[in-house]
Amino acid sequence: MTLNAVGETVFEKPSFRNSITTKRCLLGINGFYEWHDLNKVKYPYFIHTKSNEIFSLGCIYESWVDKTTGETRNTFSILTTPANPLMEQIHNLKKRMPLILSKEDEKKWIEPNLTPDQIKELIRVCL
């Protein structure tokens, strides 16, 4: 039940370590919001490509049973990386950004038999 998974620790956290090796997925988007803090006031910035084309974020998913209702919940988390120089200026408090995958890396990300080292190579800052 967490929105983001920190890429640098995703293999260590109990809530993510199974999903990162076996349940990777893509989230296709045309942009996302990040918040810029200026004098303790937050301003939204819509981040998108120049051509407004769809791109993919690296995610993980899980199905779990809600112990109070017995309902099966299908959830996902977006992986994050340290911010690149542009995103550091925008997301200036936490200095993080979502894992943006290149078209080439999209196919790699969802390959089921990647080793942990191969997965870690994909979790990098998009410039």
Distance of CA 118 to the CA centre of its chain: 17
Residue 127 lies in a domain: no
94 falls within a domain: yes
The count of structural domains within the chain is 1
Tell me, what DSSP letter sits at residue 64? E
| CATH of residue 23 | 3.90.1680.10
Residue with tokens 């998974």: 5
Whether residue 26 lies inside any domain: the answer is: yes
User: Average pLDDT, whole number, for the chain?
Assistant: 95
52: left (phi over 0), alpha (psi -120 to 50) or beta: left
> What is the dihedral sign for C-alpha 21, 119, 57, 107?
negative
Residue 17 lies in a domain: yes
Q: Give which of 54, 49, 52 is closest to 26, Cα–Cα.
A: 54
Answer yes or no: is 24 within a domain. Answer: yes
Write out the residue range of the structural domain in which residue 79 sits.
Answer: 4-122
38-68: per-residue pLDDT in tens?
999 999 999 999 999 999 999 999 999 999 9
The reported pLDDT for the residue numbered 1 is 57
pLDDT grade for 83, boundaries at 50, 70 and 90: very high
pTM of the prediction?
0.91
